[in-house]
Each structure stands twice: as structure tokens, then as C-alpha cells.
């Protein structure tokens, strides 16, 4: 009789497994097709002229060649609170995958019970009963509901992993940008200090000439006003430099004490990196990968809601023994077992499951649209950065020439003024042109190295020279 019951249970299990194999779930091809169909036709090459289609650079931080920056980027990866939170979110999502996957397997539990009964006379019963039971429950995933839940959790975990990688990329770029901004701020302080020193000397000379009758009161007022304005600009530049260092320290996970070490000058921007091809970008950028994985999760969620409207079949098996003698609890005469098959078919739920399917389908369509938006933004960033890198290189050359010419004009104006050929106000105008050109040149040099890093990041390039270098 026992053998017959077991045979029937095994037959039922085999039939249900065969039916489960007929369940249809969304595939990776379905996800890829939906993602591709959401985008316009992509060109073979980038629209900006001169883009190198070679393999995208890895290890861009090494190409910058600034060991201080390299150290700061790795410090930020280890200590930045936002990165630590993103890493914790990844751990949580991986735990959800294990939870979802566990439903595919039988859940087995054991229970041991001791019951003692004491009754007064005249019955005088005094017995201890020991019971040991084991229970196994298993939902037969005929229509793929449980597998779809596992697939959704797995795709979501992949999206969170890509989010973490994108956050790490963005943090590296943010540290580099804040580092360059801090160096630029220091250089702007230097320009402002030279302006103050030069105007202080001119003010001193004019006052001497005024006392000797060779300058007017208007001259002294003009130089004094320019000198005080320069001091104000210097104070503002110094404050900006302190703020820039504090902003960098926050990214590093440090207390903002504006004590971070910096290089003395901005690094030279390397040549533009290879840009690969537009279609390859979508397979490389972590934010686009995350969006695509969320599309996969949405497909799996829809599969799950559809399967939830079909019969749910579970098997429950119980076995064990009971005895007043603990040593005999598993003897043949004390054993008991049972197998229960249960089928749950939703009949009426006032439209609940249908609405859940509609919601999942709407979420799927939204995920596809968000993927398209993310992908198009990524493509636009590359085109913008390719264009900006080229323009900034041209601007730097122009401003270098402007600064050189302004320096020459200022030097000549000093000679002309000493010989009485021009007025003091003309000298001051030439001087202001020189310092303005120097400030503009410092700014565009910072923008150029900043833009070079932004281009690498928009292309999906990593800062590590190899995956093993990642913090």
C-alpha cells in the first residue's frame, strides 16, 4: 500500500514537471528585440568629424598621469558614503535573488514535540508522549510563476550591479572634476595675487608722482580704486579655492577641512581617446545596461502576473513517528506519513489579478521607454563631448595667443608711460587685459582636461587599468 502511494506521488510529480516544461517565459531575445525597437536607427559612426572608431580606452586615470589624482580616486571609491550605500543595495538585491530562487525547491521543516499528561486519582494517568515529524512542501511551478519571480529578481540585481558600476564611474569623474577645479582655483588665486601686487606697486608710484607734482588727484583715485577692487577679487578667489577643496573632501568621505593635497598645476589634456562605435556604446555603458536589465525585470514581472491567474499546485508530505518511549519513536509500528496534493484555482477576485497584469504590462512599456531615453541621452553625451573636446582644444590655442599678445602690449605700455607717451589709464587698461587673458586661459585649460575625462566616462571607459584594480 505504501509503495503504491509513493508510486502515485512520483507519477503526479513527473506529469506536473512535464507540464511545467510547456510554460512559456520571456527570453533574452524578447528583451533585446524590445530594447532595439525602441530606438531610432543608429549610424555606423559618430556624427562629429574626427572621432576615432578604435577600441575605447580603459584606465583613463593612468593616461592623465597625476599620481595625486589616482590616489584620491581610489580613496573615494573606498570611503564615499554614496558608493558604500550602493554596494549595500547590491548585497540586498543579491539576497532577494536567493529568496526568490528558494521557492523553486521544497521547503522542509522538522518538529519535535514532548507532551506529558498527569491526571489525579482515580485514573492516575502519568504518560509522556514523544512526537517527531518532518514536513516538506513544494509548489509545482507548472506555469513558470516562481521562475518568473526568480528571473525578475535576478535581472533587478543585475541592474543594481550596473548602477553601482555607473556610480563608481561617476564618482571617479566627479573626484577628477573637483580636483581640477581646486587646482584651477589655486591658479586663479595666483593670478589675482599678481594683479594685487602689480596694482599695489602702480598705486605706490602714482602717489609718489602725485607728491612731486607729476600726477593728478584723478590718477591716485583711479589706481587706488583698481587696487581695492583687485583685493576684493583676491579675497573672492581665495574663498572659492577653499570651497573647492571642501567639495573635493566630501567626495573622498573626509571631513571638509580644506586640507586636501593638490598638484601645483593642471595636467595636460591627453589626445582625444578612441570612441568606438555608437552601437557598441549601448553594450558598454553601465547606466544603459542597468536600464536594459530593468526591461528584463519588467518582462519577468509580467510573466509572473500572467502565471498567477492559472491553477497553483502544491504538494505537501508529512512523515514521522510518535511513542511514549523516545527510543522507539522511529520504529516501524510508530511511523506515520501522508502526501497531500492541493490545487488552487482563482475564480473571482473582483478584477484584482487582471489589474495586476495591466499594471505589469504598463510597467514593462515604461521600462522600455526609459531604456530608450537613457540610451539616447548616452549617445547625445558622447556627441556633445566629442564636439566639446575639439572646440576646447581650439579655444586653448586661441587664448594662449591672446595671453602672449596681451603680455607684450602691457610691457610696451609700461615703456610708453615711463616716457610720457600715454596716460596711466591706458597702462591700467593693458594690464587688465593681460590678467583677464590669463584668467581665461587657466579656465579653459581646466575645462579641457575636465572635458577629456567626461568624454572617457560618456564612452563607458573605466578608470582602472584592469578589473583587478577596482577598489
Q: What is the mean pLDDT of each run of 10 residues along the chain (471 residues)?
A: 48 48 79 95 90 84 91 94 93 91 87 75 66 87 90 94 94 94 94 91 86 85 91 95 95 93 91 90 95 96 92 88 78 80 85 90 96 96 94 93 93 86 83 90 93 93 65 41
CA distance 288 to 159: 9
Nearest to 188 by CA among 249, 133, 242: 242
Q: What is the pTM of this model?
A: 0.84
Does some domain include residue 41?
yes
pLDDT of residue 1: 44
For the chain, the residue count is 471
Q: How far apart are CA 430 and CA 115, in angstroms?
A: 103
Q: Can you read off the three cell numbers belonging to residue 60?
A: 583613463
DSSP character at residue 328: G
Question: Is residue 131 domain-resident?
Answer: no
Quick check: is 295 in a domain?
Answer: yes
Decide if 398 is inside a domain: yes
Task: Work out the widest C-alpha separation in the chain, in whole angstroms.
Answer: 136
Is residue 136 situated within a structural domain? no
pLDDT at 330: 76
Beta pairing partners, 114 = 130
Cα torsion angle, 383, 385, 389, 391, sign: positive
Other CB atoms within 10 A of residue 246 CB:
18
Whether 183 and 72 have beta carbons less than 8 Å apart is answered as no
> Taking the mean position of all CA atoms in its chain, how far away is CA 237?
32
- Total domains present in the chain: 1
Strand order in the sheet with 335-344: 107-118, 126-140, 312-323, 335-344
Radius of gyration of the chain, Cα coordinates, nearest whole angstrom: 37
Q: Which residue range forms the structural domain that includes residue 41?
A: 23-104+141-310+345-469
The confidence score (pLDDT) of residue 7 equals: 52
Q: Is residue 98 part of a domain?
A: yes
pLDDT at 20: 46
231 within domain boundaries: yes
**What is the per-residue pLDDT for 346?**
84
The verdict on residue 76 lying in a domain is yes
Which CATH number covers residue 160?
A: 1.20.1600.10
Q: Give the DSSP per-residue string, 418-432.
A: HTTSS-HHHHHHHHH
198 is written with which cell numbers?
602689480
What are the residues facing 115 on neighbouring strands? 129
* Nearest CA among 308, 283, 304 for reference residue 293: 283
Amino acid at each position: 500500500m505504501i509503495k503504491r502511494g509513493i508510486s502515485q506521488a512520483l507519477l503526479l510529480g513527473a506529469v506536473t514537471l512535464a507540464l511545467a516544461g510547456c510554460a512559456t517565459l520571456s527570453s533574452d531575445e524578447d528583451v533585446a528585440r524590445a530594447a532595439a525597437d525602441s530606438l531610432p536607427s543608429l549610424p555606423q559612426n559618430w556624427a562629429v568629424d574626427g572621432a576615432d572608431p578604435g577600441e575605447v580606452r580603459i584606465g583613463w586615470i593612468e593616461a592623465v598621469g597625476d599620481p595625486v589624482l589616482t590616489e584620491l580616486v581610489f580613496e573615494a571609491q573606498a570611503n564615499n558614503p554614496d558608493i558604500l550605500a550602493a554596494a549595500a543595495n547590491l548585497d540586498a538585491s543579491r539576497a532577494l535573488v536567493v529568496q526568490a530562487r528558494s521557492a523553486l525547491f521544497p521547503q522542509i521543516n522538522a518538529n519535535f514535540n514532548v507532551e506529558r499528561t498527569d491526571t489525579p486519582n482515580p485514573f492516575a494517568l502519568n504518560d509522556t508522549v514523544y512526537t517527531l515529524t518532518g514536513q516538506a512542501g513544494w509548489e509545482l511551478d507548472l506555469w513558470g510563476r516562481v521562475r518568473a519571480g526568480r528571473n525578475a529578481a535576478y535581472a533587478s540585481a543585475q541592474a543594481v550591479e550596473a548602477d553601482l558600476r555607473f556610480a563608481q564611474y561617476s564618482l571617479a569623474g566627479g573626484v577628477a572634476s573637483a580636483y581640477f577645479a581646486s587646482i584651477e582655483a589655486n591658479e586663479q588665486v595666483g593670478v589675482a595675487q599678481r594683479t594685487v601686487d602689480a596694482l599695489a606697486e602702480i598705486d605706490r608710484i602714482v602717489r609718489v608722482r602725485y607728491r612731486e607734482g607729476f600726477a593728478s588727484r584723478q590718477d591716485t583715485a583711479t589706481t587706488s580704486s583698481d587696487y581695492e577692487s583687485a583685493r576684493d577679487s583676491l579675497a573672492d578667489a581665495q574663498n572659492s579655492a577653499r570651497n573647492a577643496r571642501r567639495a573635493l573632501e566630501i567626495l573622498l568621505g573626509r571631513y571638509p577641512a580644506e586640507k586636501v593635497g593638490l598638484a601645483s598645476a593642471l595636467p595636460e589634456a591627453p589626445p582625444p581617446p578612441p570612441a568606438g562605435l555608437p552601437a557598441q556604446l549601448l553594450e558598454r555603458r553601465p547606466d544603459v545596461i542597468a536600464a536594459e536589465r530593468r526591461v528584463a525585470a519588467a518582462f519577468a514581472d509580467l510573466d509572473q502576473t500572467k502565471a498567477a491567474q492559472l491553477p497553483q499546485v502544491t504538494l505537501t508530505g508529512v512523515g514521522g513517528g510518535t511513542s511514549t518511549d523516545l527510543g522507539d519513536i522511529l520504529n516501524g509500528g510508530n511511523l506515520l506519513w501522508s502526501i497531500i496534493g492541493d490545487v488552487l484555482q482563482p475564480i473571482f477576485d473582483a478584477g484584482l489579478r487582471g489589474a495586476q497584469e495591466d499594471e505589469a504590462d504598463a510597467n514593462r512599456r515604461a521600462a522600455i521607454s526609459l531604456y530608450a531615453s537613457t540610451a539616447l541621452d548616452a549617445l547625445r553625451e558622447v556627441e556633445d563631448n566629442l564636439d566639446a573636446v575639439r572646440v576646447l582644444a581650439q579655444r586653448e590655442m586661441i587664448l594662449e595667443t591672446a595671453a602672449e599678445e596681451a603680455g607684450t602690449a602691457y610691457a610696451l605700455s609700461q615703456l610708453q608711460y615711463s616716457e610720457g607717451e600715454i596716460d596711466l589709464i591706458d597702462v591700467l587698461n593693458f594690464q587688465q587685459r593681460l590678467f583677464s587673458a590669463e584668467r581665461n586661459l587657466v579656465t579653459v585649460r581646466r575645462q579641457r582636461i575636465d572635458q577629456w575625462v567626461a568624454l572617457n566616462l560618456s564612452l563607458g571607459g573605466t578608470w582602472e587599468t584592469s578589473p583587478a584594480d577596482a577598489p
